[in-house]
Amino acid sequence: MTAGAEDTWVFVPLGGAGEIGMNLNLYGYGPPGDRRWIIVDLGVAFGASSSPGVDVVMPDPTFIEERRDRIDGLVLTHAHEDHLGAVPYLWPRLRCPVYGTPFALSVLRRKLVEVGLNGEVPITEVPLGGRFTLGPFDLEFITPTHSIPEPNALAVRTALGTALHTGDWKLDPDPVVGATADEAALVRLGDEGVRALVCDSTNVFEPGTSGSEGALADTLRDLVAQCPGRVVVTCFASNVARLQTIAGAAAANGRDVVISGRSLKRIEAAARENGYLDDVPAFIDESYANDLPRDRMLLICTGSQGEPRAALWRMANGDHGRVALDPGDTVIFSARVIPGNEASIGRLQNTLIRRGIDVITSRDAAIHVSGHPARDELARMYQLVRPEACIPVHGELRHMTEQARLARSCQVPTAVVAENGTMVRIAPGAVAGEETVPAGRLSLEGNRVVPLNGEVVRERSNAIYNGAALVSVLLNGTGRLLAEPEISTVGLMEQVEEEDVLEQVRSAIRSAIDDLGEAAYRNDAAVRKAVRLAVRRKFREQFGKKPLTRVHLMRL
């Protein structure tokens, strides 16, 4: 590979830098006006309480969509939702080939079927450790460990040097499922010379190491042995190693394993399709759960983060339909608390405890280890790869800033903190931020994708916090009311106060229309504005609320 005189090499995060989740990373190479691009990962995050009704959030790909004719491919590092979950929704805007290892592509194909894209997306399977070329990029998968099968770091080679994009990773000596990290390959890459290490920052504040998946087996087995009734274990659906460990604990205690949750079933099918869980007996479908003796059943389910639609939430509230929980049963939370989910998890656990169900969390026993590197593992990565620069990603700003500090303390010469939308020049010259590009967020609304800060989400949030009012006004040709305004409200009034308040609102509407001049009352937009302002002003006087207000205007 030979670099042209005008060639530059850049890295651009559009998601996952300044936040945890929703990863979308770009590498561009060539003259600034004619770069070729690859996309690394295209994931989602899950909605927060600040965005009511939003379940799924994803990065806005407009910047790379506008360069669609120069995309050489989308490379998936692994099968977690925050790395591939947006592909079914955003691929139609990109229409580029997709590359990944077998397990990730098994998961992806099942998701594509659900949205009617099966067979339409060009998919290329790359073996673990495989090397392939996309345009000016020579790419190689290098195996670390993580909380899902087949995690991949991606070596990105160009004529201007090499970068290592770590994806999600850790250094687990006993991962239970899959191989240990290929440290020899990391050393070889370091010997070649690495311009930049683009690295996971999630656990940078955690001292030591993240812990080994294999260390959980004895604890889970002993916990299950102490439980007299049903045992429910909730964990992240994608953690196939955890599924195997839990199944082993069940077998050691003479229990059959039931699974509940669509995502769990999807992951189990993908795992077995690729040769994982081969020594684990087939799980029993949840429809048979209540046929099993309580002391012979262990159920694995989704819902560890308190998601209201997940299986565990429905069990806790007695409306699952297929699985019932009784006092004396036990629920084990074998998962970490994702920041922002503390309140919903607390509500779920309180509901379970109120019903006489025992709850065990990682505060009570060693039942979870993270899939991301703690500080000693990060330092080890710097030692193996010896990069010229570190570009932290996959973290909030505080995580990325701390990793930059740690990298410098480990003799990495340069560390560049770049949030979403920052274009970082990797080569030629010093690794540094250059400019900003458009970056934003989208939300999944039913079967469509809309801007997270757009009218749909913004108005729903307003209606939730302030209520809503619908006003119908009938005028004659001279702008006079032909009937009393009709007013309907949602979330504003108790029934006992409705009659009195609505009469005051109608009076405000009449006054607003009477005060309009001749030119204004012939203008429909002016009438609607006057009525809307009068309604909002009156409700604010009454309740301190400014409801979302819609005015229907008719003339005879």
Reply yes or no on whether the pLDDT at 246 is more than 90.
Answer: yes
pLDDT at 49: 54
Q: Hey, which CATH number is domain 455-555, 3.30.300.30, 3.30.70.1400, 3.10.20.580, 3.10.20.740?
A: 3.10.20.580
Which one is predicted more confidently, 68 or 47?
Answer: 68
Nearest-CA neighbor of 325 among 316, 335, 333, 313? 316
Q: Give the residue-averaged pLDDT of 315-327.
A: 92
Per-residue confidence band for 53, with pLDDT thresholds at 50, 70 and 90: low
Which tens digit of pLDDT belongs to each residue from 76-102?
A: 999 999 999 999 999 999 999 999 999
pLDDT at 48: 59
Q: Which residue has the tokens 């305004």?
A: 485
Query: Tokens standing for 337?
Result: 């608390």
The residues spanned by each domain of the chain are 8-208+370-446, 213-360, 455-555
Query: Tokens standing for 172?
Result: 């687990």
pLDDT at 50: 57
Per-residue confidence band for 51, with pLDDT thresholds at 50, 70 and 90: low
Which tens digit of pLDDT belongs to each residue from 295-313?
A: 999 999 999 999 888 899 9
Which residues, including other chains, have CB under 8 Å from residue 229's CB and lie 6 or more apart? Answer: 294, 295, 326, 328, 329, 330
Reply yes or no on whether the pLDDT at 208 is more than 60.
Answer: yes
Per-residue confidence band for 47, with pLDDT thresholds at 50, 70 and 90: low
241 conformational bin, left if phi > 0, alpha if psi -120 to 50, beta if neither: alpha
Side chain identity at 115, as an amino acid letter?
V
Q: Hey, which CATH number is domain 213-360, 3.40.50.2300, 3.40.50.10710, 3.10.450.50, 1.10.287.70?
A: 3.40.50.10710
pTM exceeds 0.95 for this model: no
Starting at the earlier edge strand, list the strands of the sheet with 358-360: 284-285, 256-260, 297-301, 231-234, 330-333, 358-360
pLDDT at 406: 98
Q: Give the residue-averaged pLDDT of 187-198.
A: 98
In sequence order, which ranges of 193-239 are alpha helices (DSSP H)? 217-225
Reply yes or no on whether the pLDDT at 105 is more than 80.
Answer: yes
- The residues facing 550 across adjacent strands are 470
Which tens digit of pLDDT belongs to each residue from 399-430?
A: 999 999 999 999 999 999 999 999 999 999 99
Domain 8-208+370-446 CATH class label: alpha beta
Q: Give the residue-averaged pLDDT of 318-332.
A: 93
CB 267 within 8 A of CB 238: yes
Q: How confident is the prediction for the chain on average, in pLDDT?
A: 93
Query: Tokens standing for 481?
Result: 């009311």
Which residues, including other chains, have CB under 8 Å from residue 200's CB and lie 6 or more apart? Answer: 166, 167, 168, 169, 372, 373, 393, 394, 395
CB-side neighbour CA atoms (13 Å) of 430: 7
Query: Tokens standing for 357?
Result: 């169900």
Which one is predicted more confidently, 290 or 173?
Answer: 173
Distance of CA 185 to CAs 98, 171, 180, 535, Å?
A: 24, 14, 12, 68
CB 178 within 8 A of CB 145: yes
Nearest-CA neighbor of 424 among 198, 164, 156, 190? 198
- β 441-445/448-451 pair status: antiparallel
Residue 517 CA to residue 507 CA, distance in Å, equals 18
